[in-house]
Structure 1
Amino acid sequence: MSQQKSDYAADTDIDESLDELPDDETVEATAENLRDNGFDVVVVDSAEEALEAVQSQIPSGASVMNGHSTTLEEIGFAEYLSEGDHEWESLADEIWSIDDDAKRQAARRESQTADYFLGGINAIARTGELVAADRSGSRIGAYPFAASNVVIVSGVNKVVPTLSDALDRLESVAYPLENERAKEAYGVESAIAKQLIFRQELEDDRTTVVLVREQLGY
């Protein structure tokens, strides 16, 4: 049975003031500021609409990789990539079919240059910056440059007023929850080992942020 967020979230101490659903004005202002910083933005009302928005971004024949993301699991994308009716090349399925550790690690590095790399984010500042961190860097390594196209999906609960608040959210909301997930899933603690502040996208039409008006991910 796959692990569910409810298995660990309810008993994890987080700063709930940095995990609230914002009002419509805040969502609209955040979307506009993200656009001003070069990101394409799609705002949807539900997880189902988010999956449709993601599907519409990716053309047939594209190579697709996803970093681990609770949000992608919650909208159904992780399952769709592996089992759905599409004409993409799923690099994740190819990678996890490799038995040799060294070859699998090399394939993971190569997957950072996928045609489309999908993942989540740990915090979004209303001022238009994205904040994320990884233990290994296998997700955020693709975001700044490596992947040809990036699609980031986020619940609006990750929107906070400032970049400073976004960094606080990473420490006091995202990390505690990811740490519990990692201990349950892998038997090891997580770490904010590699951190990204994505302030601007300078390449037109490269990075799309799908904002979902729901409480998703962490």
Structure 2
Amino acid sequence: MSQKENYIAETEIDASLDELPDDETIEEAVANLEANGFDVAVVDSAADALETIQSHIPAGSTVMNGHSTTLEEIGFTEYLSEGDHEWESLPDEIWSIDDDADRQAARRESQTAEYFLGGINAVTQNGELVAADRSGSRIGAYPFAAGNVVIVSGVNKIVADLDAAFERLESVAYPLENERAQDAYGVESAIAKQLIFRQELEDGRTTVVLVREQLGY
């Protein structure tokens, strides 16, 4: 059993907000995301998602990611650190800094990377993205700071509307992320900073990769 499966087995969540939707639901969400200015790629597997990202980011780009279980599951986190690419990996640079203040300053500066990748906690059928974070380091780049944003999500995060998105955040994403945070960092997580990304107004800036698998929290 994987670590994620252990969290799910040990944590009470609303499983009805973490199911794989039918094709019609996915198609409606995609159409509305595109109407809201997001570029969308729908892929069948985690491997396809990684290949999509690899082909999307030009050589020589500065690349940063916020923590994302989904990015870990598709193999992107490992690929960014150890893979055969021609990008500048900002996480490797940041975590090589010994001084705490300098490292924190570098983390803030990395929000303006040419490509910033991360996950999301819910996607509404109306084409809205909802995410929350304890520190804000995962979602701070999404609205404006990064040159380009790539958000990867399993289709299990598609919900009917914003009310369902907030419910998913509280009853699925937070309980599971809280378990992970306590294991990884020894502290509880928190829904401290929340983002509703309704529209992308800059053509081609934000791409949403939807994977037809149950991924992430």
TM-score by length of 2: 0.98
Q: Distance in 2 between matches of 1:30 and 1:56?
A: 24
Q: Distance in 2 between matches of 1:83 and 1:5?
A: 23
Alignment correspondent of 1:63: 62
Shift of 1:166: 0.6
Q: Distance in 1 between matches of 2:71 and 2:3?
A: 13
SS in 2 for 1:208: strand
Q: Distance in 1 between matches of 2:4 and 2:167?
A: 21
SS in 1 for 2:189: coil
Identity %: 81
Letter in 1 for 2:68: S
Alignment correspondent of 1:171: 170
SS in 1 for 2:143: helix
Shift of 1:7: 3.6
For residues 112-156 of structure 1, what are the alpha-carbon distances to aligned partners after superposition, in whole Å with 9 as ceiling and x for unaligned? 000000000000001100000000000110000000000000000
Alignment correspondent of 1:146: 145
Alignment correspondent of 1:87: 86
SS in 2 for 1:195: strand
Q: Output aligned runs, 1:41-80, within 5 Å.
A: 41-80=40-79
Shift of 1:57: 1.0
For residues 49-105 of structure 1, what are the alpha-carbon distances to aligned partners after superposition, in whole Å with 9 as ceiling and x for unaligned? 000011111000000000000000000000000000000000000000111000000
Q: Show structure 1 runs of 5+ residues with no match.
A: none
Alignment correspondent of 2:192: 193
Q: Output aligned runs, 1:90-101, within 5 Å.
A: 90-101=89-100
SS in 1 for 2:85: coil
SS in 2 for 1:189: coil
For residues 147-198 of structure 1, what are the alpha-carbon distances to aligned partners after superposition, in whole Å with 9 as ceiling and x for unaligned? 0000000000000011110111011100000000000000000000000000
SS in 2 for 1:86: coil
SS in 2 for 1:215: coil
Matched residues, number: 216
Please say if 1:23 is aligned against 2:22: yes
TM-score by length of 1: 0.98
SS in 1 for 2:10: coil
Q: Distance in 2 between matches of 1:7 and 1:21?
A: 20
Alignment correspondent of 1:126: 125
SS in 1 for 2:53: helix
Q: Distance in 1 between matches of 2:79 and 2:40?
A: 22
Alignment correspondent of 2:13: 14
Letter in 1 for 2:102: K
SS in 2 for 1:64: strand
Shift of 1:26: 0.5
Please say if 1:206 is aligned against 2:205: yes
SS in 1 for 2:196: strand
- The Cα RMSD (Å) is 0.8
Q: Show structure 2 runs of 5+ residues with no match.
A: none
Q: Distance in 1 between matches of 2:122 and 2:27?
A: 16
Q: Distance in 1 between matches of 2:63 and 2:175?
A: 29
Letter in 2 for 1:16: A
